[in-house]
């Protein structure tokens, strides 16, 4: 009977969740419409009250799309190589690579300000932006993938240390060690 709870199956599940993150909110904003001409005291007159609330799904951000593409590519690789036992070593390296690349992409994306988060006083748009849960869940999924890759590498090391030694490697009965 095959095991259901394997590192490969868990990694595939994390990849599928990572692909669905593209449809979840990665950012939101409260937007006020103001009169583009400043008042005498330098303030701006609000034209719309209450302000509009906007939500931005992951596909509106470059880093979310790149992360979803990485998760999808890794899922397809894992799906194709799942029947291989023992798992090839390059598969653990691929999982580790995608997990690390996803982390780097999300961190770069969090440090860049998208156009939808920028206020434009000449156009009369004032934005108060906040990040959604999407990028932080993606970071968690990437960390989970790296842990699973470490577990696959660990099982390779354990399997290599348990290999039987050949008769030539054993000392003869009269030899001293």
> Is 24 inside any structural domain?
yes
Q: Please indicate, yes or no, if residue 92 is contained in any of the structural domains.
A: yes
State residue 175's pLDDT score. Answer: 57
The pair phi, psi for residue 74, each rounded to 5°, is -65, -40
What distances in angstroms separate CA 21 from CA 15, 51, 53, 99, 155, one per listed residue?
Answer: 10, 27, 21, 15, 30
For the record, the structure tokens of 48 come out as 């719309």
Continuous H helices in the chain: 7-20, 62-81, 89-110, 134-161
pLDDT value of position 174: 60
List per-block mean pLDDT (blocks of 10 residues) for the chain, which spans 177 residues: 81 95 90 82 80 87 94 95 84 94 94 85 84 93 95 84 66 60
The helices-and-strands tally (H runs, E runs) of the chain is 4, 3
In a domain, 13, yes or no: yes
In a domain, 51, yes or no: no
Domain containing residue 19: 7-29+60-118+134-158
What pLDDT is attached to residue 166? 64
Which pLDDT does position 173 carry in this prediction? Answer: 65
pLDDT (0 to 100) of residue 11 = 94
Tell me what pLDDT residue 95 has. 94
pLDDT at position 20, please?
95
pTM higher than the cut 0.85? no
Structural domain contains residue 123: no
Q: Is residue 152 part of a domain?
A: yes
Asked, for residue 110, whether it belongs to a domain, the answer is: yes
Domain containing residue 94: CATH number: 1.20.120
Residue 47 inside a domain? The answer is: no
Could you give the number of structural domains in the chain? 1
């Amino acid at each position: 009977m095959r095991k259901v709870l394997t590192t490969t199956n868990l990694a595939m599940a994390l990849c599928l969740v990572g692909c669905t993150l593209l449809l979840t909110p990665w950012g939101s904003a409260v937007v006020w419409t103001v009169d583009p001409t400043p008042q005498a005291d330098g303030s701006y007159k609000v034209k719309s009250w209450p302000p509009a609330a906007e939500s931005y799904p992951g596909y509106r951000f470059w880093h979310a799309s790149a992360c979803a593409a990485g998760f999808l590519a890794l899922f397809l690789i894992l799906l194709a190589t799942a029947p291989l036992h023992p798992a090839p070593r390059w598969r653990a390296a691929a999982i580790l690579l995608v997990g690390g690349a996803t982390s780097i992409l999300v961190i770069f994306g969090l440090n860049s300000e998208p156009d939808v988060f920028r206020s434009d006083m000449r156009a009369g748009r004032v934005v108060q932006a906040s990040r959604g849960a999407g990028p932080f869940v993606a970071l968690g999924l990437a960390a989970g993938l790296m842990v699973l890759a470490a577990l696959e590498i660990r099982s390779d090391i354990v399997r290599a240390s348990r290999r039987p030694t050949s008769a030539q490697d054993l000392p003869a009965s009269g030899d001293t060690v």
